[in-house]
Amino acid sequence: MGINREYSMYSAANDEFIDFLIRDIGDGIVSPRLATCKPGDLVEIGGPYGNFCLPQTLIADDVYIFIATGTGIAPFHSFVKTYPELRYTLFHGVRHKEEMYDRKDYAQESYTVAVSLPEDGSSGLRITETIRTTVLDPRAVYYLCGNRLMITDAISILRDKGVPGGSIFTETFF
Amino acid sequence: MRIAISYPPIINEHGQKAMVSQNRNVQFFKKPTYLLPVIHAQAATSVRNSGHTVLWDDGNAQLKSYKDWLNDLVSWKPDVIVFESTTPVMKFYWSTSRQIKELLPSTTIIMTGYHSMRKPEETLEKSPIDVVLRSNNIDFVLKRLVEHMDGNPFWRMSCNIEGLTFRISDSEFRSTGNFVQVEPLDDTPLIDRNLVQWRNYAYENGNFLQTPGTYATSVIRDCMFGKCTFCRYNGPDLTFSMMSVQRSLDEYESLINDCGVKEIFDDSGVWYRGREAREFARGIIERGLHKRNCYFGLNTRFEYLDEETIKLMAEANFRFVLLGFEAADDETLQRLNKGYQMEHVERCLTWMTKYGLHPHLTIMVGYYWQTKEQLELTVNTVRDLMFRGLARTLQVTICTPLDYTPYHQECINNGVLITEDYDDHDMSKLIVKTPLPHEEYYQAIRTIYAISFHPRFLLRQVQFLLNFRKRDWQFLFTYGIRALRRVRQHVFNLTRNSKR
């Protein structure tokens, strides 16, 4: 179809197949077409491009905090699967519980979810509220991926908590 | 406080003026295009809105000599002067700041821009400049900084706003760490057109088919792709911010109604795509702005806009589409991290041409690896696209490493950069070792520009007239005459070194 979109890899670096986590945007152009793909269809992939990666040599003492909304969890899934020894905490903001993709792949104590539109009618919670009320280590390295409003708010919260700008890395959706 | 946002006239030995503004590499022209530095214009508006007195001091666009510019600035007695840096004018700015400090010793000089962002200590060491503002979000940070400075004699030590490096003494500097990467663009003001004297930029711009034209407040700050190695919008600490569609539409409506503009160009590294692009085009149509005799233009990438979106944009009276066509060989595109393949270029251009848009190709030559085959492929592909009417205009530049982009750093690391003099980074000559003699790249530039005068290209433009679109008639008879002058200048600038 001749249209490019950028997606983060979901699979681990050494997996046999490359996986992507893509939400079908109803009025989009590319994702609805991808949703109708069948095994055997040809999809061209270029890249990889970009800098949203962990350091090539992980420092054992480093603690990583990942903050994602929706499918913004994709690069963090790849990080966690690639480096099983990674010391991380993942904050995941979703609208509905079924967006907690592959929850089992994250250690119980490392995964915190905020559901903004719970099905049971209870009041929802945004991930930015969760991180605002959580004690966070200002010496940790922070990776943020997801919608830009979350990222704008999260950066502001992290700076208020004393996290230096050089320890915050972002990948913004558009 | 009295704050001057200043662009001194920079004139070279050929009597040519430097064009310096964000999103543009410096080039010298005898009759320059005057480009509104959009983020600095927002910064000026923002600081003025905070109650400060602002001097919009673009000596280039205001047609001042250097002497007059300096005299006027000194007599205005600013508390703060803000400059914008890029590699080929760094030495000029360091020298100018020394001159200003002698005349205005108590004035604080702030340097912004992508070169000093990457090398803040260098600027503080080589000049008396007081502060390097390292953020690309100059409007946000300048406003915070000025508020902190106002009435506070200890601001150098007490300020903790992110993204600043302060001079404490001749040899002691203080950094406040990395800047905030994403800022809410809806919270920064739209440009006050009167403050920045928008008419100074409304006519002398080769990309406007109708005048007065203007630049919109960019909807995307920096670039949503942000991975091309030669581009300054690339780095692990850079990302992009986006303005809401409705806010941008409001500005377009105001520009048409209040300023009477006939062409609006958004110089975002890459404009909206997908849902936002369609929402914007629909918004233009719903507001009736597509019938107001105003064309719209943008930068985009191959494969970012699908046919449905392009069709909608054409209905909304979009015309000028600027596309980076850096090379025609896949190896170069891969090395530059361009993220598109040649096979998709033609389809994208076909869609645009089909619906009456005017694609403009920005081509580069002179990569340090570029072979004869790669160079010829680029020249031949461009010729083919132009002859077939798939692109309407073009510009060619020498790929010049600057502002410590990944490509610049790569050239340094690989030992291919043949100069250490920043003045040589003005895009007037090749400054990297190449597989071919430099003359062959200069000849390629001449060949590409000559396409515009080839009978086959001209015949194709005449054929476009049969579509009976006003823009095609304007293109041939208005733009064509202007283009002659500009092409001559470009060829002179980019090849004059070949005669040395």
Q: Do residues B135 and B215 share a domain?
A: no
A152 and B273: CB-CB below 8 Å?
no
Bridge partner residues of B323 (DSSP): B300, B361
What average pLDDT does the structure give for chain B?
Answer: 91
- A169: chain B residues, CB-CB within 8 Å: 236
**Residue at A30 is within a domain:** no
Looking at B175, B205, B234, the residue that finishes a domain is B175
Euclidean distance between CA atoms B29 and B15, whole angstroms: 8
Distance from CA of B1 to the nearest CA of A (A): 27
Residues of B within 8 A of A165 (CB-CB) are: 162-163, 177-181
Q: Is residue A102 part of a domain?
A: yes
CA distance A171 to chain B (A): 7
Provide the number of CB pairs (under 8 Å) joining chain A to chain B.
85
Cβ-based neighbours of B367, under 8 Å, separated by 6 or more = B327, B332, B335, B336, B399, B432, B434
Q: Which residue has the tokens 């890899």?
A: A9
B104 plus B221 within the same structural domain = no
A-chain residues near B280 (CB < 8 A): none
CB contact under 8 A, A170 and B227: no
- The verdict on a CB contact (< 8 Å) between B182 and A155 is yes
* ipTM of the prediction: 0.70
Over residues A73-102, mean pLDDT:
95
The answer on pLDDT for B500 being more than 50 is no
Rounded to an integer, what distance in angstroms lies between the CA atom of residue A166 and that of residue A173? 21
The verdict on residue A25 lying in a domain is no
In this predicted structure, the answer to whether residue B489 has a pLDDT above a threshold of 70 is no
- Stronger pLDDT, B154 or B239, i.e. the higher one: B154
Tens of pLDDT, residue by residue over B181-190, are 778 889 999 9
Chain B interface includes A169 (CB < 8 A)? yes
Query: A120-158, pLDDT tens digit by residue?
Result: 888 899 999 999 999 999 999 999 999 888 998 998 899
How far from chain centre, in Å, is Cα B376?
Answer: 28
Domain assignment present for B184 = no
Are B291 and B410 found together in one domain?
A: yes
A148, B242: Cβ pair inside 8 Å?
Answer: yes
- CB-based contact A166 B273, cutoff 8 Å: no
At residue B220, does pLDDT exceed 60?
yes
C-alpha–C-alpha distance, residues B463 and A145, integer Å: 49
Residue B245 and residue B114 share a domain: no
CA–centroid distance for B275 within its chain: 25
Smallest Cβ–Cβ distance between A164 and the set B177, B236, B242 belongs to B177
Q: Could you tell me if residue B180 is inside a domain?
A: no
Whether chain B has a CB inside 8 Å of the CB on A170: the answer is: yes
C-alpha distance from B174 to closest chain A C-alpha (Å): 15
User: Do residues B164 and B202 both lie within one domain?
Assistant: no
Query: At A152, which CATH number?
Result: 3.40.50.80
For chain A, helix (H) and strand (E) counts, in that order, are: 4, 5
Beta-bridge partner residues of B82:
B5, B110
Asked if A46's CB is within 8 angstroms of B240's CB, the reply is no
Residue B490's pLDDT band, with cuts at 50, 70 and 90, is: low
**Pairwise CB contact (< 8 Å): B340 & A4:** yes
| Nearest by CB: B339 against A46, A148, A156 | A46
Do B74 and B203 lie in a common domain? no
Give domain status of residue A79, yes or no: yes
For residues B197 and B79, membership in a common domain is answered with no
Residue of A nearest to B164 (CA): A165
pLDDT score, position B266: 96
Q: Residue B393 domain-assigned?
A: yes
B397: domain CATH number is 3.80.30.20
Chain B residues touching chain A at CB-CB below 8 Å? 162-163, 177-184, 224-227, 235-237, 239-242, 273-276, 301-306, 308-309, 337, 339-341, 344, 347-348
Query: Amino acid identity of A61?
Result: D
Quote the number of domains for chain A.
1
Whether A105 is in a domain gets the answer: yes
Are B252 and B128 found together in one domain? no
User: Does B306 sit within 8 Å of A3, measured CB to CB?
Assistant: yes
B297 is a domain residue: yes
- In which domain, by residue range, is A141 found? 64-172
In a domain, B163, yes or no: yes
Within a domain: B181:
no
Q: Do A174 and B304 touch (CB under 8 A)?
A: no
Confidence of residue B472 (pLDDT cuts 50, 70, 90): confident
Give CA–CA dist B125/B110, Å, rounded.
Answer: 14
Q: Given pLDDT bands bounded at 50, 70 and 90, which one contains residue B468? A: confident
Q: Using the 3D structure, point to which of B175, B198, B214 is the last residue of a domain.
A: B175
Q: Are residues B168 and B196 in the same domain?
A: no
Determine contact, residues B165/B120, Cβ cutoff 8 Å: yes
The answer on B480 and B357 residing in a single domain is: yes
- Pick from B122, B148, B175: which residue ends a domain? B175
Question: Within a domain: residue B171?
Answer: yes
Confidence of residue B271 (pLDDT cuts 50, 70, 90): very high
Q: Decide if A74 is inside a domain.
A: yes
CB atoms within 10 A of CB B121: 12
Q: CA B93, CA B239: separation in Å to the nearest integer?
A: 27
Per-residue pLDDT, A120 = 86
| pLDDT of B22 strictly over 50 | no
| B303 within a domain of the structure (yes/no) | yes
pLDDT given at position B497: 65
Task: Tell whether B281 and B408 lie within a shared domain.
Answer: yes
Asked if the Cβ–Cβ distance from B182 to A172 is below 8 Å, we say yes
In-domain check, residue A53? no
State the pLDDT at residue B224. Answer: 80
pLDDT at B499 over 60: no
Query: Between B99 and B181, whose confidence is greater?
Result: B99
Q: Is A148 in contact with B339 (Cβ distance < 8 A)?
A: no
Structural domains in chain B (count): 2
Q: Domain range spanning residue B81?
A: 2-175
B386 with B459: CB under 8 angstroms? no
- Among all residues of chain B, which has the CA nearest to that of A29? B274
Closest by Cβ to B339, choosing from A47, A159, A170: A47
> With helix as H, strand as E and coil as C, how does chain B read?
CEEEEEECCCECCCCCEEECCCCCCCEEECCCCCCCCHHHHHHHHHHHHCCCEEEEEECCCCCCCHHHHHHHHHHHCCCEEEEEECHHHHHHHHHHHHHHHHHCCCCEEEEEEHHHHHCHHHHHHHCCCCEEECCCCHHHHHHHHHHHHCCCCCHHHHCCCCCEEEECCCCCEEECCCCCCCCCHHHCCCCCCCCCCHHHHCCCCCCCCCCCEEECCCCEECCCCCCCCCCCCCCCCCCCEECCHHHHHHHHHHHHHHHCCCEEEECCCCCCCHHHHHHHHHHHHHCCHHHCCCEEEEEECCCCCCHHHHHHHHHCCEEEEEEECCCCCHHHHHHCCCCCCHHHHHHHHHHHHHCCCEEEEEEEECCCCCCHHHHHHHHHHHHHHHHCCCCCEEEEEECCCCCCCHHHHHHHHCCCECCCCHHHHCCCCCCECCCCCHHHHHHHHHHHHHHHHCHHHHHHHHHHHHHCCHHHHHHHHHHHHHHHHHHHHHHHHHHHHHHC
The model carries a pTM of: 0.87
Residue A41 lies in a domain: no
Q: Distance from A164 to chain B by nearest Cα, in Å? A: 7
CA distance A3 to chain B (A): 4
B30 and B90 part of one domain? yes
